[in-house]
A and B are shown apart, each in its own frame.
Chain A
Amino acid sequence: MTEVVRVAGSLRNRLAVTLVGGAAVLAILLFVVVRNYAAQIAQAGQDQIIGASVSSILDAAVVRDGVVDVDFPYASLSMLSTEFDDRVFYAIYQDDAVISGYDTLPRSDIAANTDRQYETVVFDGVPVRLASASRTLIGAGFRTNIVVSVGQTQDALSGTLNGISRNVALFGAGFFALATLIAFWATSTTFGQLQALTTAITRRGPKDLRPVVKPIPAELAPLVSSLNSLMARLNQSLLQSENFITEAAHRVRTPLATVRSHAETTLHRVERPENRQALRAMVRAIDESSRAAGQLLDHAMIAFRADNLDQQDIDLGALVQELLVQLTPIAEMKDIDLEMTQDGNAAVRGDPILVQNALRNLIDNALKYSPAESTITISVSDVPTAHVRVCDQGTGFDPDEIDDLAKRFKRGTNVAGIVGSGLGLTIVEDVAHAHGGKLTLENQKTGGACVTLSF
């Protein structure tokens, strides 16, 4: 059943790649989205604190005797302490001038009376988050705009973000690993069904063409139903072939038998020796062709029977004896002795019709290729395994072609006028293979062929 199948790609791999790839994309998406969200929240948190600091400084701004004073509380800057000791910068502007704090802090362009505005600037070479707010102070004949900006470096923010990123990355990796596991589990259970179906069909005998009845998943239903119908058609055509062969055998043999009986009747009537000679040759030719046709049909029959062996207990000894009874008259015509030796009880399980056919072919060959007044020895034994050996005193096999003689229609160079089809040994070998046995051809040292059918 190991036919070569053209394989292009794998459904399982494709499914696994799709699932795993999808999981990877989702994991990355998760990471990016959560990180961005976390970054926004963390930035909002920092902004809130800087903004509160700005408000508390701005709230402290008052005009005293025409001079702006900003007596801001300790907490204004104290609230900016972070775990990462972020640097803090601030500036207080009155109209266009810096009245306190860092003179070089980038000035935010903020409209008058604006409540908190945030931006990220670069100061002293580092990114600084800057919050600003402004307020107009009004005194007696006095109106001035105060802007307060407070900046903070982003070490703690990036520290927090790195922590979150690490956690989200771990989470994403875990998600990915889990999704991958599930993907592999899903594909293997899915394709497990397919595998189970394949095994069920592979395990069947070669002639088991019953439809698949085991429950199968819906997706496999079309495949299995077309498989079932294919098998049904196959079964049908096999039956037809078998019938056809039986029919054909019948149709060929019956007219031949009729012709033969006519020829024999005529042989009794004619007197002239040359006519009798011709008729005898005719009868022999009819026999040979009937045998050849028989062999052809046997070969075809064996090919079919071999696929669906009838398993019975066969006693090889008894089978050979039965054959000898049938063949002894033929042997006597050539003055050939058929000798049989039996050693042990050689029993095999198999199809008796096939085995008998094979053995008949072997003994037939021995008779065909043996000279008159010789002996054919048939030995049956169960050591080392059950086997039947037929040895004759004929010409033996040509060593050059001994390996090829069992091939279909192959005849040897030693046939010289002996009628045959080249199918005899083929039939024997097919029978041997169908029973798990083998056919061995060899020459005896003393001359003559030895053919062994062993099981």
Chain B
Amino acid sequence: MRYLVLLALWVLPMLAHAQDWEDQRMFGVDSSPTMRIISSTDTSFFAPIIESFLAERPDVSIEYLVTGTADLDQIFRASPAEFDVVISSAMDLQLKLANDGFAQRIDDITHPAWAQWRQSLFAFTTEPATIVINKAAFAGQDVPRTRLELIQALRADPDRFRGRVGTYDVRQSGLGYLFATQDARASESFWRLTEVMGSLDARLYCCSGEMIDDLADGTIAVAYNVLGSYAQARQDTRDKLEVILPSDFPTTMMRTAFVSRDTLQPQTAADFIRHLTIAQSQGADLASFPLPPLITELDAAGRSRIALEPALMTYLDRLKRRTFMREWESAIIQSPSAPSQ
């Protein structure tokens, strides 16, 4: 029996290592029971929350595993019993997981109706999709405030921006796909902007982080639909970059978390979600947590968030996705040699 346990202890990490994680980190004492969190959020954003949770619960340890939103969905669907908590910015994928019965109900968390679904999927941030520009690239020029102004700016000086426009590769990024589909739903200007970006040989990225890196070193001058929170959080880029909330229509995402239906530690996992929602609610100590809080009221501009509702599954539909991808590809990839990173 002991050998079996030892074997299991030896094999499990091997299995975990078999997966290619963007980041993987242990928090807390090794010997204590480990709760596994699979997340699309960079470790640096989450570490303070995990540490404050462990301060209250020194009896557990947490393994934090980071991967992209689309991968996360696949990995988790394949083995839901291996993870206790699932955190992602792709609201549509998260909602579908919950709709498909992968999420556990936690009845004793009080959360506003719009910020939770079925008392099992809980939103804990409010993060708008933004336009981020390299200030230097726009020197002596009006900074675009809306998508239309961005289109005009790009069209006005195509040579300056050729190859220096970045956006998500919606084929790789679940969050990018969510932003793109919600944009397309809200306004036709999305397609026009995509076509303009395509004509300028736009660079496509998997993740906000890399896009901001390239913006900071001047590789690209402007990035569309980036998470502003990532740009603002980085000390090194703060002076070089400007984060613009498009004032025509907002696309605001909420990061969501749920407890896996197959978790072996339902109580600890539920406690973690509770801790997370309390820490991220407005009025909590924001300075110590780098993630943007959950804004419980609409701001003055009446910005709405993407609603947590079954309709989020619309663009996950095979046929809808096929059609959207076809249109998106024909808009953004205009020459066969375009980079598809």
Contact = CB atoms under 8 A, between A and B. Distances in A.
Interface of A: 68-78, 80-81, 83-89, 92, 99-101, 124
B118 A87 contact: yes
A70 B322 CA distance: 10
Given A74-B185, A124-B101, A81 B309 contact: yes
A77 B319 CA distance: 15
Given A68-B319, A70-B317, A83-B113, 8 more contacts: A69-B323, A72-B320, A74-B314, A77-B309, A78-B309, A81-B307, A100-B318, A101-B318
Contacts of A73: 314
B109 interface: no
Contacts of B99: 87-89
Contacts of A87: 99, 101, 118, 310
Contacts of A92: 319
B311 interface: yes
B319 A71 contact: yes
Contact of A72 (B100, B101, B185, B317): B317
A81 B311 contact: yes
Given A87-B99, A124-B101, A78 B311 contact: yes
B317 A101 contact: yes
Nearest to B116: A85
Contacts of B119: 85
Contact of A88 (B101, B113, B313): B313
B328 to A, nearest CB: 14
A88 B185 CA distance: 21
Contacts of B307: 81
Name the residue among A75, A85, A89, A101 with the largest chain B CB count within 10 angstroms: A85
A85 B185 contact: no
Contact of A99 (B101, B310, B319): B319
Q: How large is the interface on B (under 10, 10 to 19, 20 to 34, 35 or more residues)?
A: 20 to 34
Nearest to B181: A74
A71 B311 contact: no
A78 B92 CA distance: 13
Contacts of A74: 185, 311, 314
B310 A80 contact: yes
A75 B314 CA distance: 9
Interface in B92-143: 99-101, 113, 117-119
A69 B327 CA distance: 13
Contacts of A89: 99
A339 to B, nearest CB: 106
A336 B99 CA distance: 125
B310 A71 contact: no
Contacts of A80: 310-311
19 contacts: A69-B319, A69-B323, A70-B317, A70-B319, A70-B320, A72-B320, A74-B314, A75-B311, A76-B311, A76-B314, A77-B310, A77-B313, A78-B309, A78-B311, A83-B113, A87-B99, A89-B99, A101-B317, A101-B318
B320 A71 contact: yes
A69 B319 CA distance: 6
Interface string B308-341: 0111011001111011000000000000000000
Contacts of A68: 319
Nearest to B118: A85
B313 A71 contact: no
A146 to B, nearest CB: 11
Contacts of A83: 113
Interface in B291-314: 307, 309-311, 313-314
Given A87-B118, A88-B99, A100 B310 contact: no
